[in-house]
Amino acid sequence: MRSGMISRRQGDCKPAEPGMLASLAMAVAPNPDSKAPGRPDGLLALADRCVQCGLCLPHCPTYQHDRNEAESPRGRIALWRGLASGQLAASAATDAHLDHCLGCRACESACPAGVRYGELLVAGRALQRERRRPSPRQFLVEWLAARPRWLAPLLGLYRRLHPALPARLRPLPAPPARTAPATPRPTGPSPSASVSLFGGCVGRPYDEPARLALSRLLDAAGIATVEPGGQTCCGALHAHAGDLATATRLAAGNRSAFARSDTVCATASGCQHALARSLEGSPAHAEDPFVLLARVAPELAFRPARRRVALHLPCTQQRVDGSVAALRALLQRIPELDVVLLDPACCGAAGVQMVTDPGRAAGFREPLLAALDSSGADTLLSANVGCRLHLGNASPVPVRHPLEFLAEHLQ
């Protein structure tokens, strides 16, 4: 594979200047009389691991975008520490800085002190959730995601109306038309099935072609698939928004849905980790589809592609699922395929931020689209449904799941 990297501005990898973080803390008034119920010691323990070295700065997309210490990981950690301890009072400004975090966890990969920023983000957002309501748009997205049976018909209506809607009412590409599988598949758990497929919420209609493709690939390797009923959203977007109660309830629903399963695969990289956590302690376990396919790759043969595609690596695939090497190995098995690897920067989708703050999200997408436009690729591949929707809304070429591309080139 060759690399088509985007040039990016680099931040300073230096310790905080004297008074820098103190000035950040002074941006909001002290709150010694806070009546917050107790100290969230778990959040403070996570925050105290940060040594404020600044090595995260060149890796943080929001700091690179704004050049504002409050938009950096160590700046946000300072804010969360102040809010959790009651030494700072929340304001619209502090909430905006915390809300802007994309959750890409690039800082976590670069941190020499081992700060578990992913856990810190969830804990911090939960603290915010206790004192403020979500915006109407955020509430609507969360409410629908937790009810896939309601969401699916609404997205079906959206698909039919999409061509006639004005641009401001088309936050997402049109969902694909329903496609009947080439051969009948079971609709519930079966003792003979080896792999169960996870549908999720928005992924249920948008990732249907990817699930059919995964079923075809596994079938070629002699592995059967089923889609158990009773599934719901993985709960990742709720957890990242601080709604831990709903995330826990959804996890319990999926644990029940896959109670008779062995291996479970999610086609969306953003769902894989949340699904794995929900299945802990149950007989079923989650496995990344690319890791699974790479293990059975000797059973798969691919025909030549004779084309160039661009590969986008979602943050979750890079830093949580760890399936980048497996995906690249699978694509390398397709003869005469030229793959251009785009800069592994966050696309800005960030769960629901592409819907709740579309203007800001588009700013993070632009460099990737510019690199794609100059790459000469005729297709963009991305393994996360949110990234594909965000990129697909403005991409000059079709944006597809790698599983679809792999299945199309099976011999």
Q: Note the pLDDT tens digit of each residue in 158-187.
A: 999 999 999 888 889 999 987 655 444 444
Phi, psi of 316 (to 5 degrees): -65, -35
The predicted pLDDT at position 193 comes to 56
pTM confidence score: 0.87
Per-residue tokens: 111 = 């941190």
- Cβ-proximal residues to 396 (8 Å cutoff; 6+ apart), any chain: 369, 372, 373
**Does residue 152 sit in the same domain as residue 114?**
no
Residue 204 sits in the same domain as residue 326: no
**78 and 159 co-located in one domain:** no
277 and 338 part of one domain: no
Tell the residue number behind the tokens 């709740």, with chain if given.
356
Greater model confidence, 351 or 31 = 351
| 66 shares its domain with 200 | no
CATH code of residue 34: 1.10.1060.10
What average pLDDT does the structure give for the chain? 87
Structure token digits, residue 144: 């629908």
Per-residue pLDDT reduced to its tens digit, 367-386 = 999 999 999 999 999 999 99
* Contact in structure between 206 and 389 (CB atoms under 8 Å): yes
Residue 399's φ and ψ, nearest 5 degrees, are -110, 125
Asked whether residue 176 falls in the same domain as residue 161, the answer is: yes
Same domain flag for 278 and 201: yes
Instruction: Specify the pLDDT at position 90.
Output: 93
List 310's β-bridge partners, or say none.
Answer: 340, 380
What's the pLDDT score for residue 27?
A: 35
Task: Let me know if residue 3 belongs to a domain.
Answer: no
Residues 180 and 208 reside in one and the same domain: yes
Same domain for 383 and 337: yes
Same structural domain, 119 and 205: no
Instruction: Show which of 268, 294, 320 is a domain's final residue.
Output: 294
pLDDT digits (tens, 9 = 90+) for 292-349: 999 999 989 999 999 999 999 999 999 999 999 999 999 999 999 999 999 999 999 9
The reply to whether 10 falls in a domain is no
Question: Partners of 117 in the beta sheet?
Answer: none
Range of the domain at 383: 301-408
- What is the CATH number for 272? 1.20.1050
| Torsion angle defined by CA atoms of residues 309, 349, 263 and 197, in that order, rounded to the nearest 10 degrees | -80
The DSSP-derived string for 258-301 is TTT-SEEEESSHHHHHHHHHHTTTSS-EE--HHHHHHHTGGG--
Instruction: Identify whether residues 317 and 334 lie together within a single domain.
Output: yes
> Is the pLDDT at 267 greater than 80, yes or no?
yes
Shared-domain flag, residues 240 and 108? no
Question: 295-332 in b/e burial notation, b at 16+ Cβ within 10 A?
Answer: eebeebebeebeeebbbbbbbbbbbbbebbebbbebbe
Angstrom distance (rounded) from CA 312 to CA 103: 17
Question: In the chain, how long is the greatest CA-to-CA distance?
Answer: 69
Q: Are 350 and 314 within 8 A, CB to CB?
A: no
Contacts of 34 (CB under 8 A, 6+ apart): 86, 89
